[in-house]
């Protein structure tokens, strides 16, 4: 190659610094072809440059570092300092946070890259239906027992604050858990159902295993509710029948369309008891709640279960989700006949709260990583943290994450009070109303915040082995399972109607009492004013809507639930910022939260969104046949 070409290549190499890796390959070719000393000197000079030969340059972006999630979370520590100032709790959470970032987070990644698989047959053709999970998934089970991730809620060592302690631990753990929080949510829910129905034979042993700290005896539970006809409309969608046996047990026959974490040791499930003629009662009144163990016979086959296939999902790939044929599964009836939905409702309350913990935790995790990345990544001549627009974006996400945390923790507080027998009627009403509210609101927030946050890593946020895309995929399920946003919005209406409005009365009086405590804090005045006026609007809406038809209320259900969430969270922000140990960040976050439209249900009412004339227009728009 002529010397002039070499020089040209060098210029190209300089000009395309960092972006064009084609140049070095040509330089390699030059070296092998060089014969004269001039050319060798040129080669020496060229190889001192970046991107010469087959090099890829000297610049490598530093990865965001996961630090101890307990120590990094000022709001979590502040909240616990305020409500649960026990040295033992702080030491445990700090040690666990260290374990999560140093050890467990890697296992979570292992779960993601080694998803479960189903082995239907053994090498000799016998049906075995083995769900093979990764070693990391199994380690998660042992860790869950050792760390008391379910047990803490039942040991109640910290009385009414035990749930807050347990959920703080799960909040630290969740984003690194490889979705092991899903079986833990159902395990906790099953323990709660058993406890509320009475811990007696034959579920005594199951209860002690579900709440055990011993890895060798710890069990997880499934929650098999969803059938082909629908996951939401459980009352009419459940076809599984329970055939009574002479020993008092039942055999279940049916098909469960989504069963999560199917490697569980036991399950709670719904079925319709058959009478002597084989008939069953339709609807909700025909459903009973059953307990079944997942076990194998001497032939190695699952007793009464065939695993049809594993689901191919957008996210939660770390965890097996299966279709199951129940073909004579031995089961014990836990509820009275026909009280299945009411009896499993406790499980739904627990899993919905766990869902909110995971949602708040996902937001916290991405903001934590983005914050760290902003101190490492330089663009346009300075670190990301020195770009005001970038920091504005991160601070908005920080406010959302804090809001999700405060709302979620308050529901955990209420749950703890109820379980320890210290809940007032107001607390119980609030817990019933806020459980669907926190689940639906934080589930949606998580998808938005995680999606937004991936942008703050640039293209790296879209690269699979950074682990970041998996967080978004897993967040997407949070607004779907355990009741979609609309189903839960309707649950809000249902509990308002069933309590004859008591749940909203409790809501209004609690928010007012939180605001009253802040009336003299001038720095929070704009926030207090915003929440106060949104609350008046909401009260006005609820009073007026009562005289409208059910169709009107139904159309408002989603906005109503959002309003309940935003106003209540605003009051929690204010309350937390008033605490004597609060920081200026707490005040600033409260002010920011309260700047948004806190009462979208009034806003959209004024726009006529719930008027009956709007419904045909909405439908015509969707089908594009507006005239």
Name the strand (E) or helix (H) holding 108: helix 105-113
The residue among 215 and 237 lying less far from ligand UCC, judged by its C-beta, is 237
> Least distance to ligand UCC from the beta carbon of 73, Å?
19
Which residues, other chains included, contact 622 with Cβ-Cβ below 8 Å and sequence gap of 6+? none
Name the strand (E) or helix (H) holding 420: none
For position 260 contacting ligand UCC by CB under 6 A, the verdict is yes
Identify residues 561-620 at the interface with ligand UCC (CB under 6 A).
none
The residue among 344 and 397 lying less far from ligand UCC, judged by its C-beta, is 344
239 and 254 Cβ atoms separated by less than 8 Å:
yes
The residue among 434 and 518 lying less far from ligand UCC, judged by its C-beta, is 434
Judged by CB under 6 A, which stretch of 117-125, 179-187, 294-302, 393-401 contacts ligand UCC? 179-187
> Least distance to ligand UCC from the beta carbon of 338, Å?
9
Of the candidate residues 187, 262, 358, 401, the single one contacting ligand UCC (CB under 6 A): 358
Of the candidate residues 355, 442, 569, 587, the single one contacting ligand UCC (CB under 6 A): 355
Q: Which residues pair with 222 in a beta bridge?
A: 267
Q: Which residue has the tokens 């092998």?
A: 32
The residue among 177 and 563 lying less far from ligand UCC, judged by its C-beta, is 177
Judged by CB under 6 A, which stretch of 52-60, 108-116, 246-254, 478-486 contacts ligand UCC? 478-486
Q: Which residues pair with 383 in a beta bridge?
A: 378
For position 209 contacting ligand UCC by CB under 6 A, the verdict is no
Identify residues 273-332 at the interface with ligand UCC (CB under 6 A).
284
Strands 266-273 and 287-293: antiparallel
For position 185 contacting ligand UCC by CB under 6 A, the verdict is yes
How far apart are the C-alpha atoms of 288 and 325, rounded to whole Å? 19
> Least distance to ligand UCC from the beta carbon of 56, Å?
39
For position 231 contacting ligand UCC by CB under 6 A, the verdict is yes
For position 419 contacting ligand UCC by CB under 6 A, the verdict is no
For position 226 contacting ligand UCC by CB under 6 A, the verdict is yes
Name the strand (E) or helix (H) holding 224: strand 221-224
Of the candidate residues 14, 86, 494, 607, the single one contacting ligand UCC (CB under 6 A): 494
How far apart are the C-alpha atoms of 213 and 376, rounded to whole Å? 40
How far apart are the C-alpha atoms of 544 and 466, rounded to whole Å? 51
Q: Which of the 8 DSSP states describes residue 596?
A: S
- For ligand UCC, which residue has the nearest CB? 284
How far apart are the C-alpha atoms of 515 and 570, rounded to whole Å? 9
Q: Which residue has the tokens 């809940």?
A: 423
269 and 240 Cβ atoms separated by less than 8 Å:
yes
CA distances from 340 to 83, 122, 197, 276, 277 (A): 36, 37, 12, 20, 21
For position 372 contacting ligand UCC by CB under 6 A, the verdict is no
Give the dihedral of Cα atoms 411, 415, 416, 420; nearest 10 deg: 150
How far apart are the C-alpha atoms of 73 and 168, rounded to whole Å? 11
Judged by CB under 6 A, which stretch of 228-236, 263-271, 422-430, 505-513 contacts ligand UCC? 228-236
For position 621 contacting ligand UCC by CB under 6 A, the verdict is no
The residue among 181 and 604 lying less far from ligand UCC, judged by its C-beta, is 181
Structure tokens at 471: 């967080």
Applying CB under 6 A, which residues contact ligand UCC?
181-182, 185-186, 223, 225-226, 231-232, 234-235, 260, 284, 341-342, 345, 348-349, 351, 354-355, 358, 481-483, 487, 491, 494, 498
């Amino acid at each position: 190659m002529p010397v002039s070409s070499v020089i040209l290549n060098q210029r190209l190499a300089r000009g395309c610094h960092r972006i064009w890796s084609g140049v070095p390959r040509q330089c390699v070719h030059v070296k092998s072809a060089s014969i004269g000393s001039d050319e060798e000197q040129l080669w020496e000079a060229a190889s001192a440059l970046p991107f010469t030969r087959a090099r890829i340059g000297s610049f490598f972006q530093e990865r965001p570092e996961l630090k101890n999630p307990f120590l990094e979370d000022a709001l979590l520590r502040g909240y616990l300092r305020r409500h649960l100032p026990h040295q033992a709790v702080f030491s445990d959470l700090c040690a666990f946070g260290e374990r999560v970032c140093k050890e467990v987070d890697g296992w979570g990644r292992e779960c993601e890259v080694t998803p479960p698989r189903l082995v239907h047959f053994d090498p000799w053709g016998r049906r075995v239906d083995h769900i093979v999970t990764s070693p990391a998934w199994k380690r998660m089970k042992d860790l869950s027992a050792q760390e008391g991730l379910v047990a803490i809620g039942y040991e109640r060592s910290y009385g009414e604050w035990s749930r807050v302690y347990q959920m703080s631990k799960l909040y630290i753990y969740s984003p690194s858990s490889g979705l092991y929080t899903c079986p833990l949510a159902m395990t906790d829910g099953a323990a709660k159902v058993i406890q509320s129905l009475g811990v007696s034979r034959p579920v005594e042993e199951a209860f002690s295993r579900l709440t055990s700290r011993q890895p060798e005896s710890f069990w997880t539970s499934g929650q098999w509710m969803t059938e082909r006809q629908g996951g939401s409309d459980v009352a009419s969608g459940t076809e599984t029948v329970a055939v009574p046996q002479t020993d008092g047990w039942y055999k279940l026959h049916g098909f469960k369309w989504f069963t999560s974490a199917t490697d569980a040791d036991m399950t709670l499930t719904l079925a319709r008891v058959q009478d002597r003629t084989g008939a069953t009662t339709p609807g909700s009144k025909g459903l009973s709640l059953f307990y079944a163990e997942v076990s194998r016979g001497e032939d190695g086959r699952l007793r009464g279960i065939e695993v049809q296939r594993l689901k191919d999902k957008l996210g939660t790939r770390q965890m097996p989700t299966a279709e199951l044929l129940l073909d004579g599964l031995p089961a014990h009836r836990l509820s009275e006949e026909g009280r299945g939905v009411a009896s499993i409702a406790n499980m739904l309350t627990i899993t919905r709260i766990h869902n909110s913990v995971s949602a708040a935790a996902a937001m916290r995790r991405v903001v934590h990583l983005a914050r760290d990345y902003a101190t490492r990544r330089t663009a346009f001549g300075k670190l990301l943290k020195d770009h005001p627009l970038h920091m504005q974006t991160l601070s908005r996400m920080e406010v959302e994450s804090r809001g999700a945390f405060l709302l979620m923790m308050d529901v955990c507080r209420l749950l703890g009070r109820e379980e320890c027998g210290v809940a007032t009627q107001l607390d119980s009403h609030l817990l019933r109303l806020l459980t669907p509210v926190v689940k639906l609101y934080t589930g949606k927030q998580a998808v938005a915040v995680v999606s937004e946050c991936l942008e703050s890593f640039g293209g790296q946020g879209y690269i699979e082995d950074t682990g970041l895309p998996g967080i978004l995929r897993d967040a997407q399920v949070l607004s779907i399972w355990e009741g979609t946003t609309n189903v839960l919005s309707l649950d809000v209406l249902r509990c308002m109607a069933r309590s004859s409005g008591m749940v909203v009365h409790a809501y209004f009086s609690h928010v007012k009492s939180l605001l009253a405590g802040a009336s003299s804090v001038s720095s929070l005045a704009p926030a207090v004013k915003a929440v106060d006026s949104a609350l008046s609007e909401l009260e006005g809406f609820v009073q007026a809507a009562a005289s409208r038809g059910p169709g009107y209320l139904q159309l408002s259900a989603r906005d109503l639930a959002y309003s309940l969430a935003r106003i209540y969270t605003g009051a929690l922000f204010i309350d937390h910022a008033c605490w004597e140990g609060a920081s200026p960040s707490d005040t600033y976050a409260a002010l920011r939260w309260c700047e948004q439209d806190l009462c979208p249900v009034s806003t959209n009412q004024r726009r006529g969104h719930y008027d009956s004339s709007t419904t045909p227009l909405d439908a015509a728009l969707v089908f594009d046949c507006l005239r």
